[in-house]
């Protein structure tokens, strides 16, 4: 596993996949390749704590942010996700 630390106010996050709804008997047939449209926002967990400008980001904090701002970096066949801290719209749970 590669040790990574975000720079320039980027947080290293793990994307939390939303649980998929059970397939139900539907009257509409969809192609096998069909994927349900994804929402504009996604949920992630801060993988490594960080602090900038007096703001402390705790490891394990669950946060919401726009799906479109996730930066994906692949190194040694490992995918790393980064989000700039100003795109975080909320912290979920007790932090």
Model pLDDT for residues 10-62, shown as the tens digit of each residue: 999 999 976 655 555 567 777 888 777 778 899 999 998 888 878 889 999 99
**Mean pLDDT within 3-13:** 89
Indicate the SS3 state at residue 26: coil
Digit-coded pLDDT (tens) for 55-77: 889 999 999 999 999 999 998 88
Torsion angle of C-alpha atoms 14, 15, 19, 23, degrees rounded to 10: -130
| pLDDT classification of 95: cutoffs 50, 70, 90 | low
* 8 A C-beta contact, residue 15 and residue 84: no
Give the model's pLDDT for residue 91: 93
């Amino acid at each position: 596993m590669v040790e990574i630390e975000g720079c320039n106010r980027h947080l290293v996050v793990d994307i939390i996949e939303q649980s998929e709804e059970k397939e139900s008997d539907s009257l509409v047939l969809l192609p096998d390749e069909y994927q349900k449209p994804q929402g504009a926002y996604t949920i992630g967990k801060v993988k490594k704590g960080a602090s900038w400008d007096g703001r402390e980001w705790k490891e394990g904090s669950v946060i919401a942010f726009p799906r479109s701002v996730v930066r994906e970096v692949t190194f040694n066949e490992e995918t790393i996700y980064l989000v700039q801290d100003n795109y975080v719209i909320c912290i979920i749970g007790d932090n």
